[in-house]
Amino acid sequence: MTNVTHVEPTRTISIYVCSRGFSYAVMDNAVTLIETNLISPKKFGETKLLKKMKQVITSFGDVTLILEDHSSKHNRKGKRSKNLSKKIYRWSKKRGIPVKTYSRDDVREVFSPWMAYTKYDIAQVLVSNIEGLKPFFYEPIKYPERDHNYEAIFTACSLGVTFYFKSGN
């Protein structure tokens, strides 16, 4: 008789759903970024966005999917973004893809040793530690200006880093 142990893959795909689409970050560990992108279509409906998310997830083989947990009382996500996250979560679970969720509070906790609590502070820590993120770095937002689309890439990366720190990988 042989014992079979299920080992979750350490490659992750972090998907961050935002008002303009979604961003994703594929990572092998907390400082190794394989690929990142921002999918920000002007005329994609929910169905096309879900299809694109599924393509991204399946194109990298065995992965752990990382999503944002929207249950925090401080979460201000729109209904559309929450629904897309729920749908991709359910789809992934049905396919047997491991899924982890982390709240903004979890991310802040992981980045607290660097005194990084805002999205911009976290982006600065990521740029200084992960090769390949520098071209996406942005200046701090000056209100009432519109926020930068690249912020979503850093949020996806921060979710991936949070997974590696919380899981001990």
CATH 3.40.190.10 fits 12-167, yes or no: no
Strand locations in the chain, DSSP E? 12-18, 21-29, 32-39, 64-68, 99-102
Q: Letter for the amino acid at 41?
A: P
Q: Global pTM?
A: 0.87
Q: Is the pLDDT assigned to residue 94 strictly greater than 90?
A: yes
**Helices vs strands, H then E, count in the chain:** 5, 5
pLDDT given for residue 79 in this prediction? 83
Q: Is the pLDDT assigned to residue 9 strictly greater than 60?
A: no
Torsion of CA 33, 137, 160, 66, to 10 degrees: -110
